[in-house]
Structure 1
Amino acid sequence: MSAAPGLPALEPIVGRYLSLDFEGRRYRVYFEEAGEGIPLICLHTAGSDGRQYRGVLTDPEVTRRFRVIAFDMPRHGKSSPPQGFEAEEYRLTRDFYTAFVLAFADALSLDRPVVMGCSIGGRLVLNLAAQHADRFRALIGLQSSAHVAPYYDTEWLHHADVHGGEVCAGIVSGLVGPDAPAADRWETLWHYMQGGPGVFKGDLHFYKVDGDLRQRIAAIDTGRCPLFLLTGEYDYSCSPAETEEVAAMVPGALCIIMPGLGHFPMSENPDCFLAHLRPVLDRIAKA
C-alpha cells in the first residue's frame, strides 16, 4: 500500500542481526528481508552490501511469493568484522564464501532457497550450482562469468596515497550502464564509497584469483537445479560474451542479456532490472 500524498512512505523491509558461529569464529551478520513464500537469498557485489537489492525487497510483485533476504557479508555494510580482524589481511576465498552462504541458509532454517548473486555473488552462484545443486530450488547469476582476466592494479584499492572509498567508486563507475537514472547511479557508487578499508581489494582476491571456475562449469547439471543467467550488456568486467560462454557449457541454462544495463543491474536501474527478473521468478514459482 502506498502512502497518502504528503505522508512519508514506510518501506516493508525489516533489518535484523544474526550471531553466527562459523569456522571457530563468531560473526555478527546483518540482513534485511521482506515478503513471504519461497526464500530468495540475495548476494551483493564485491565491496558493497545488501542495500543493492532495495528494489527487489520493495517490489510487491516479488514479495507476495518470495521471502527476499539480502545479507551483508562479514566486513561489509552493517556486518561487523570478526574479532581480531585488525591483525590480518582480508582475502575472500571460494571455500569460505561458499561455506558461509550455506551456513547462513542453515542458520535461518531455509528449505531449498533460491540464491541470486551479482558479480562475485554471480560467480559464487556458479560454484553452488557445480557443488551444491541439491541444496537449492533454483540459482540466478547476475553478471556471472567463470573467470576474469585482471585489467587493473588492485593495490590502489587499499593504499595510503588515495582515498579508499572514492577510488573504489571510481574503479566501478565505468561499469554502470549509460541509461541508469542519476539517483540510482550515485546511490550505487555511494555504497562503494562507504566500504571498509581493504574490503573491495580482499573481495577481488576471490573474483580474480581464487574463484576461477573454468574447470568446474562442466559439472553443473540443470536437471538437479535450474540455472538462470542475467547479464547487462554494458559490462567489461563480465561481458555478455563471457556469460554466454558459461551458458553454452551448461545445457539447460537460460541466458538473458539485458539491454541498457551494466554491472549492477539491481541497483543502478531497479525498474528495468525487475522487468527481466519477474518472468524468471514466475518460472521458479510455478515449477
Structure 2
Amino acid sequence: MRVKKEAVVGGYVHIEIAGQMHRVYYETAGAGQPLLCLHTAGSDSRQYRELLNSEALTANHQVICFDMPYHGKSSPPAGWEKHEYRLTSDLYLQTILSFMDAMEIHNPIALGCSIGGRVVLHLALKHPERFKALIGLQSGAHVNPYYELDWLHRPDVNGGEVCAGIVSGLIGPNADSQDRWETLWHYMQGGPGIFKGDLHFYKSEGDLRGMVQKIDTGKCPLHLLTGEYDYSCTPEDSQDLARLIPGSHLEIMPGIGHFPMSEAPHAFMNHLLPVLQRIQSEQHK
C-alpha cells in the first residue's frame, strides 16, 4: 500500500467581520516569510494545494491559504438564508485584514488570483503598509462582461455545473487533464449564488478604473503575473494596468490561462519563485 502524508496543517479561526462572527478555515505549510494566498471567485483555497506542498517554496516561506466565508470549508454566518450574498470591496478588505489580525500575520506577501488579483490592487491603494509586497495573478482594473450573471443562480440550472462550464474556457490549452478537472471540480462544489455574489465585486463594485494610477509602488512593491490564454483578464488588460502604475513589474506567462496555481502549478512555480527572489533581494538593497 502506497501512503503519502502531506505536511499541510489545517484549522479554524473564529473572526468577527462586518459585525458578524465567522468560522474561517485555513491551511498552512512551511516556515519563513509569510505568503498569503487568495483564491478566485466561486472557488476555495484548494486551488493552492501545489504551493502548500512545494518544497522549493515552503523552505523559505510560510504559505497560508484560507477559504473566504461562504466558500469551501468556511460556512456562511448565521442568518445567511435571509440575505443575498454580495461581495463588496469593503467586505473583502475587512475579511483579509481581520484574518491577518486573528492569525497574527505580519508583513506578508499577498498573492491573489482573479478577484484576488483585483483585491491586491485595493490593498495597494488602501493598506500598502500592511504588506511586504503584493502579487496579482490575472490582475486588471476592470473586466468587460462576457456572460450573463443570472445564469449562475437559477432554479432550472445546475449551479455547480454551469459555474464550471463558464470558467472551463479560461483554462489554458496546455493544462494537464487532471489539473484541469480538479480546477473545475472546485467550481462544481460552490454554494448557491456564491460565484454570482463574488462577481458583483469583480464585474462592477470593485472596478478600479481611474484609481489605479494612485498606487504607489514605493510604499509596497507590486508584481503582476498574467497567463497568455485568458479572456477574462487578457494580457492586454494587465499591460494597460502596468503602464498606469509606475514601478510595477509585469510578466506574461506563456501557455497558461486564468488559474495558474491550479491548472499549471509546476509551470507557474517557474514564474513565481523568481518573483519571490526578486522581492527578497529588493528588500535588502
Same fold per superposition (TM over 0.5): yes
The yes-or-no answer on 1:185 pairing with 2:177 is: no
The yes-or-no answer on 1:95 pairing with 2:104 is: no
Structure 2 residue aligned with 1:48: 43
Q: How do 1:238-277 residues align onto structure 2 when only pairs under 5 Å count?
A: 238-277=233-272
Shift of 1:244: 0.7
Contact 1:127–1:216 (Cα < 8 Å) also in 2: no
CA distance in 1, matches of 2:25, 2:176: 28
CA distance in 1, matches of 2:255, 2:184: 18
Structure 2 residue aligned with 1:108: 103
CA distance in 2, matches of 1:88, 1:99: 19
The yes-or-no answer on 1:15 pairing with 2:10 is: yes
Aligned residues: 282
Unaligned segments of structure 2, at least 5 residues:
none
Unaligned segments of structure 1, at least 5 residues:
1-5
**SS where residue 218 of structure 1 aligns?**
helix
The one-letter amino acid paired with 1:149 is N
CA offset digits 1:209-250 (Å, max 9, x no partner): 101011220111111110000000100000000001110011
The one-letter amino acid paired with 1:98 is L
Shift of 1:285: 2.6
Contact 2:18–2:94 (Cα < 8 Å) also in 1: no
Alignment RMSD (CA, Å): 0.8
CA distance in 1, matches of 2:214, 2:13: 33
The one-letter amino acid paired with 1:22 is I
Contact 1:65–1:285 (Cα < 8 Å) also in 2: no
CA distance in 2, matches of 1:80, 1:277: 31
The one-letter amino acid paired with 2:266 is D
Shift of 1:191: 0.2
Query: TM-score under structure 2 normalisation?
Result: 0.98
Q: How do 1:111-150 residues align onto structure 2 when only pairs under 5 Å count?
A: 111-150=106-145
Shift of 1:100: 1.1
CA offset digits 1:119-172 (Å, max 9, x no partner): 000000011011111110000000000001211111010001110000000000
Shift of 1:177: 0.1
CA distance in 2, matches of 1:113, 1:272: 24
CA offset digits 1:77-117 (Å, max 9, x no partner): 00010000001000100111012111111111111111000
Structure 1 residue aligned with 2:52: 57
The alignment-based identity, stated in percent, is 61
